[in-house]
Amino acid sequence: VVFVARGSENAEGSFEVVLNDGDAQATEEPTSEPVEATPTPAAADETPEPSSEWTTPTQILLANGIEVRLSWTAAVDLGLEVRDPVGNTLYFDSRTSPVGGSFGFDANGLCEVITENPTETASWVPGFLPTGSYEILVFYYQACDQSVPAAFTIDVTVDGQAQPTIEGALSPPPNSDVDSVYLASFDIDPDGSVQVYDGDFYPDTSLGFLPAPVNELIDEAQPIAVDEVAAGVIYREQPYQSYVFQGVANDVVNISLEATSGNLDTLVQVMDASGTLLQVVDDAAGTTNSIINNLRLPNSGQYYVIATRYGKELGGTEGEYTLTLASGVQFTSTDLTALNLPVGDISVLLTWNNSTDLQLLVRDPVGDSVYDDAAQINSGGQLLLNGNVQCVRAEGTPTSYIYWPQGFLRAGIYEVDVWFQSTCNDATAVEFTLTILVNGQPLVQEVRRPTLDQHFVVNFTVGPDGQPSAGQGGFVVDNATGIDYTSEVPVAITFNTPATGTIAPDNAFDVYTFDGSAGQTVTISMNAISQTLDTKLLLIAPSGIQVAENDDADPLLANTNGRTTNSLIASYTLQETGPYTIIATRYGIQFGGTIGAYRVLVEG
């Protein structure tokens, strides 16, 4: 078999092959005149810098293929995933790829069979394989015996050559809704050289962190106008690109960030001129592209779109993309009339696309809530429609509607909660549209795709003059995602001595600290002094890992009758010695709307 040498032009031509049998000698044809050889260029004294330009993946002949091996010793279920440069993925549920990749045994899978020295392997057979960036992900799925951190190694072998070993560790995820992930990567250049990049822990909270300081994102932003399309590329030396556009208060825009080449797994962030994030989307339904539909702009001014990738500077996916900024669809009071719904001083409309049961709840400024179990409250709020309640399929588009009739507008902060409470045996992805109008004028319009049991929360304020303003909205999580508590100076709290504070519109949380010892048992309580505050507690260990949280205390533990919105972390045994951090906040944290004074107490 004769191959064209790498780097040569694949042109037509002829050649002669001389085969010798036994000891026969090939006849040498003397050259008629000497030929002067071209001198080989001198090697550079320093290693050249990596290319700062994006290179489209090509193919390289690797006689010994590629292997990525994950090894660990703890009795836990870790998972290996590798994404190749052209977008194929190998892991336990995707065992082959079109370019010759295969995934081996799922070690400790679901903790059904525990292996003493578990390993997982992704490999590619010898042949022509893609050049470019290979991204390695390690997931901590679950602990099989004790919930303990797990150290691991990743060994990469390319064309028979072992590369430097990657060493890492993962802690167990705090709950089933949060991923515990480690990211690393390696590059194969067209000349066959390999570079392995050490990785790091990449928590879900990192999705809400900007890839660069706010001033850099603003200074580097490229202009884009509504109804324009921009193109760019994300790769190791350029993990993000920011764009700026001029927005008008209450305008609605759609933003789409779509990969057009490579293995790029996009992530899009939108922030205002102060650096406040308005929305972050990693994956749209059924794709690794990022789509934001009907984003309402709360104020007039400049807005920034950050086009980046999952993992940002840690990530290993690369490729070209298109960014589309388009006008959204603005819902108006006329649309309510078309639905035969009355227009009130406050109108909250929820529609969605399938048979699932979503609950709509609105909490008024004094803390009363109107929802399916309380269809009317003292402030005038009424539930008129309750789509798909208890999985009884509504005729037409499922719709829930809560409103305050004209003449019932009350100043204060309102909180809106959408809860995906049941699939009703419908396996299709749910997408809802939440629309809020005040005095007949559109204030909030959100399109979101929740997962089962997720809550989407947004708040809005009606001023004493009747003018409304909208707050930030997002999915509620049981951790500190999206809040920068580490920049706060914590208040030292003494055991068995209560401390007081206030949650306000401009203060969504307070930070406290106490010194604890491994083996010590503590109880932490947070009780509202004013009736409107719905409290929430988070506990962070000295290692920086969240180890406990509570929203609503168990009434039996709190010595109360019925439901309580106070918070209690009861009889928790500390696993580490050192300073612990308490975050005293409210339901919904930065998205919530309840305010008021509270008392926090640490006993132990």
Could you report the per-residue pLDDT of 322-374, keeping only the tens digit for each? 999 999 877 777 788 888 999 999 999 999 999 999 999 999 999 999 999 99
pLDDT for 352 equals 95
What is the model's pTM?
0.68
> What's residue 555's pLDDT?
55
Q: Is the pLDDT of residue 556 over 70?
A: no
Q: Tell me how far apart the alpha carbons of residues 5 and 250 are, in angstroms, rounded to a whole number.
A: 61
Residue 78 has pLDDT above 80, yes or no: yes
Q: Which residue has the tokens 């109107």?
A: 370
How high is the pLDDT of residue 294?
A: 82
At the topology level of CATH, where does 59-202 sit?
Answer: Lipoxygenase-1 (2.60.60)
pLDDT(76) > 80 = yes
Q: What is the mean pLDDT of residues 302-317?
A: 96
Q: Does domain 333-475 have CATH number 1.10.150?
A: no
Which CATH code is given to the segment(s) 485-603?
2.60.120.380
387: which 2 tokens? 């789509």
> 207-327: which CATH number, 3.30.1490.190, 3.40.50.10540, 1.20.140.10, 2.60.120.380?
2.60.120.380
Task: Give the model confidence (pLDDT) of 448-478 as tens digits.
Answer: 889 899 999 999 999 999 999 888 888 888 8
> For residue 384, with 0-12 CB atoms within 10 Å meaning exposed, 13-18 middle and 19 or more buried, which class applies?
middle
Q: What is the rounded CA–CA span in Å between residue 233 and residue 238? A: 8
Q: Taking CA 295 as the corner, what is the angle to CA 289 and CA 298, rounded to the nearest 5 degrees?
A: 145
Judged against a pLDDT cut of 50, whether residue 598 lies above it is answered with yes
**DSSP string for 394-426:** PSSS-EEEEEE-TT----EEEEEEEEEEE-TT-
- What does pLDDT average to over the chain? 88
Q: What is the mean pLDDT of residues 27-41?
A: 39
567-573 sheet: strands from edge to edge: 499-503, 596-603, 521-528, 567-573
Place of tokens 């950050």: 306
Residue 355 CB contacts under 8 Å (≥ 6 apart), including other chains:
388, 391, 393, 398, 424, 425, 426
CA 270 to chain centre: 14
Give the percent of the chain with pLDDT over 70. 89
pLDDT score, position 471: 86
The Cα–Cα gap between 196 and 319 comes to 19
Q: How far is residue 122's CA from residue 91's CA, in Å, rounded to a whole number?
A: 7
CA 365 – CA 417 distance, rounded (Å): 14
The pLDDT confidence band at residue 236, using thresholds 50, 70 and 90, is: very high
- Model confidence at 1, pLDDT cuts 50, 70, 90, reads very low
Mean pLDDT of 149-154: 95
Joined tokens for residue 452: 């089962």
Using the predicted structure, report yes or no on whether residue 531 has a pLDDT greater than 90: no
> For 485, which DSSP code?
G
Domain chopping of the chain, boundaries: 59-202, 207-327, 333-475, 485-603
Task: Write out the DSSP string of 562-581.
Answer: S----EEEEEEEP-S-EEEE
Burial 277-291 (b: 16+ CB within 10 A, else e): bbbbbbebeeebbbb
**Residue whose C-alpha is closest to residue 595's, from 505, 491, 517:** 505
- 207-327 and 333-475 have identical folds: no
Q: Is 50 exceeded by the pLDDT of residue 6?
A: no
